[in-house]
Amino acid sequence: MIDKQTLRGEVRARRVARSESDLAGWALLLAAHAEQVPGQTLTAFVGAGGEVPTLPLLDALVAAGRRVLLPITLSDMDLDWAEYTGAADLVPAAFGLLEPTGPRLGLDAIDQADTILAPALAVDQSGLRLGQGGGCYDRALPRAHGLVIAVLADDEVVLSVPVESHDRPVDAVLTPSGGLMRFPRA
């Protein structure tokens, strides 16, 4: 099986090659699936670096009356949270990310979420998620009790990803073309 670093490199190379028009189209398709995303309070993220852009999805969720919390990456790579109030209130942050400027809600705010929309480089057909490698979500997800949905491009749902003991499967994926797809659990 391919190792995590090699798979990360392959996915990142595909992301760099994506056209702006493809990304813009995927963003609109993703936003059209907002009604499929369950929950009143959600955590989400602002797509960056070739990820599917999520701002239209975030705006659709807020327009539907949902509360959306976005991560703030701390120096120890853990995640604090603040409420998303619109793109105008996002500022550039570490790693090329955009983060909210509102009051910080604390590390445990993720536990308030009915649904966690998490970034991923890849997810396999059993729900195992491959992240960027910094461990931010590995630290945050154990505090979450909501449904975990990885948001990614259609071609990033793969046959298998390497797994380590700390890796936690996601409950579903949300992709531009496929919408919400849940994984069966035993």
The CATH code of the domain that includes 29 is 3.40.50.10420
Q: Which residue has the tokens 């700390």?
A: 166
Q: Give the pLDDT of residue 45.
A: 96
- Could you tell me what percent of the chain has a pLDDT over 90? 69
Where b means 16+ CB within 10 Å and e means fewer, 131-164 reads bbeeebbbbbbeebebbbbbbbbeebbbeebbbe
**pLDDT tens string 103-132:** 999 999 999 999 999 999 999 999 999 887
Establish if 185 belongs to a structural domain. Answer: no
Q: What domain count does the chain have? A: 1
What the block records as the tokens of 80 is 């604090």
Strands 41-43 and 67-73: parallel
Please give the angle made by the CA atoms of 33, 38 and 42, to the nearest 5 degrees.
100
Establish if 27 belongs to a structural domain. Answer: yes
What the block records as the tokens of 67 is 């509360």
Q: Which domain holds residue 158?
A: 4-180
Among 43, 29, 40, 129, residue whose Cα is nearest residue 80? 43
Establish if 18 belongs to a structural domain. Answer: yes
Establish if 186 belongs to a structural domain. Answer: no
Establish if 16 belongs to a structural domain. Answer: yes
Establish if 149 belongs to a structural domain. Answer: yes
Q: What is the mean pLDDT of the chain?
A: 92
**pLDDT tens string 18-43:** 999 999 999 999 999 999 999 999 99
CB 119 within 8 A of CB 151: yes
**pLDDT tens string 162-186:** 887 777 899 999 999 999 999 987 4
CB 123 within 8 A of CB 154: no
The overall pTM is greater than 0.85 = yes
